[in-house]
């Protein structure tokens, strides 16, 4: 297609008619397109589901220095909250959850800048490496 500036009035009018017809065709499909940005995919949401189980409203979210860990504006206290979570899970699994106890024994809790990394997994080191690389 040649540039608009090089088209005659008749060519532009014909192109406009053609494009309007295509546009009308899309309108008749009754599509529900969401063009917003930043929405995670289902796979991304599924990946983070374990984070929903990390804390409960029954957990003590006050760190040793008295900081309320629910304050998301600062990192203070979040590491303590993650450590407290590991301890509460160890108490919950003590005596019967041997697999879970092994995972908790290898839990990684690390802060870097304004980020907290908390991982309970079979191989937390590989995730920790990704975290460290991501927040260089």
Write the pLDDT tens digit of every residue in 87-131.
988 888 888 888 888 899 999 999 888 788 999 999 999 999 999
Report pLDDT for 15. 95
**E strand segments, 29-119:** 108-112, 115-119
Residues 75, 118: contact at Cβ < 8 Å? no
Q: What is the dihedral of CA 75, 77, 79, 85, to 10 degrees?
A: -130
Report pLDDT for 54. 75
What is this structure's pTM? 0.46
- Cα(40)–Cα(132) distance, rounded to whole angstroms? 22
Confidence of residue 73 (pLDDT cuts 50, 70, 90): low
Mean pLDDT of 23-52: 81
Phi, psi for residue 68 in degrees, rounded to 5: -80, 110
């Amino acid at each position: 297609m040649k540039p608009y500036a090089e088209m005659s009035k008749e060519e532009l009018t014909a192109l406009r008619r053609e494009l309007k017809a295509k546009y009308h065709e899309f309108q008749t499909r009754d599509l529900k397109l969401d063009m917003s940005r930043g929405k995670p995919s289902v796979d991304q949401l599924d990946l983070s589901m374990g984070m929903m189980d990390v804390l409960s409203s029954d957990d003590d979210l006050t760190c040793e220095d008295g900081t309320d860990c629910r304050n998301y504006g600062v990192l203070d206290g979040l590491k303590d909250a993650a450590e407290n979570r590991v301890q509460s899970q160890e108490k919950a699994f003590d005596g019967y959850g041997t697999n879970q106890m092994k995972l908790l024994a290898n839990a990684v809790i690390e802060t870097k800048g304004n980020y907290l990394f908390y991982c309970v997994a079979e191989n937390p080191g590989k995730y920790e490496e990704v975290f460290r690389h991501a927040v260089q």
